[in-house]
Amino acid sequence: MAENFNVIDAEDGHIGVLLAQEEMPDLVICDIMMPEFDGYSVMTQLRQNPYLQSVPFIFLTAKASKTDLRLGMELGANDYLTKPFTRDELLGAVNAQIETLSIHNSDDRPTWSDHCCDLIQSLPLEIHQPLEHILNLAQSSQENEAPKNTTPAKDLLNEIKSTGDLLYERLQNIFIYQELASIEQNPQRLRIFRKNTGICATKAVITNIARTQAQYYSRISDLQLELKDATILLAQPKLQKNNRRNC
């Protein structure tokens, strides 16, 4: 730690790219002349990562031509220090970028996403308990009491069960969105999520979900799937949500 900054260094450009993608730094300082990848290649790769596109990038170099400067800025560099430079010049450049980033992040103008997240977070998780109770009562009545009920009563019971299932699914979507939004906005949670993901073949999972839904709606004969298998770095439980009617 220097000047209250936590510093992570890399031996070459290739290692630097890997570390940046793993650690999600607040700022990158990069030399241009390096083994493996030069500074321009490092910046190009990092800018392709959506989570690192807005991270400030400062070039350090002994090359001072206008062509080199223009190339670095066109690639998206935020600043450019020519060697030799003083300690104060380096700290000044770093602090300027951190301050700019802080101002950008502290923009208090609410967005649609902010309002949406506030609404989601205001929903108590305890809402699942009474909803589960309602659905369990409805299902139990359908299974055990339906033969004794009159037709209007059966229709009403089916409507309660159907509406409850729909509400349950909508709540699942909301809480999944909340979790994903929370992970995206928290670099530490994002790193943990990436390290703990598994591997999943999508074709089998999607096929199983589609067939289950088609069977529920008695449309299995109408189901047609044209899928190409793909392997993703995501555990299978994370790729599908809990659907109560399939429990």
| Cα-based angle 188, 180, 57 (whole degrees, multiple of 5) | 50
pLDDT of residue 108: 47
Average pLDDT of the segment spanning 86-106: 82
Of 188, 196, 233, nearest in space to 23 by CA: 188
| Cβ atoms < 10 Å from Cβ of 199 | 10
CATH superfamily entry for domain 13-105: Response regulator (3.40.50.2300)
**28: pLDDT strictly greater than 90:** yes
- Of the pLDDT bands very low, low, confident and very high (cuts 50, 70, 90), residue 241 is low
CA distance 241 to 234: 13
Angle at which helices 13-23 and 187-195 pack, to 10 degrees? 110
Average pLDDT of the segment spanning 183-201: 67
Q: Take residue 207 and report the two structure tokens written for it.
A: 């096929």
- Domain segments of the chain: what residues? 13-105, 110-195, 197-247
Of 6, 22, 7, 101, nearest in space to 55 by CA: 101
Average pLDDT of the segment spanning 31-38: 83
- Of the pLDDT bands very low, low, confident and very high (cuts 50, 70, 90), residue 118 is low
| Cβ atoms < 10 Å from Cβ of 77 | 21
Indicate the pTM of the whole model: 0.45
Q: Which residue has the tokens 């190339």?
A: 71
Q: How, if at all, do strands 79-82 and 200-201 pair?
A: unpaired
Q: Which residue has the tokens 């298998």?
A: 229
State whether residue 110 is helix, strand or coil.
coil
Q: Higher model confidence: residue 172 or residue 110? A: 172
| Cα-based angle 213, 194, 45 (whole degrees, multiple of 5) | 115
- Of the pLDDT bands very low, low, confident and very high (cuts 50, 70, 90), residue 174 is confident
Average pLDDT of the segment spanning 71-85: 83
Q: Higher model confidence: residue 224 or residue 193? A: 224
**Residue 135 is which amino acid?**
L
- Of the pLDDT bands very low, low, confident and very high (cuts 50, 70, 90), residue 223 is very high
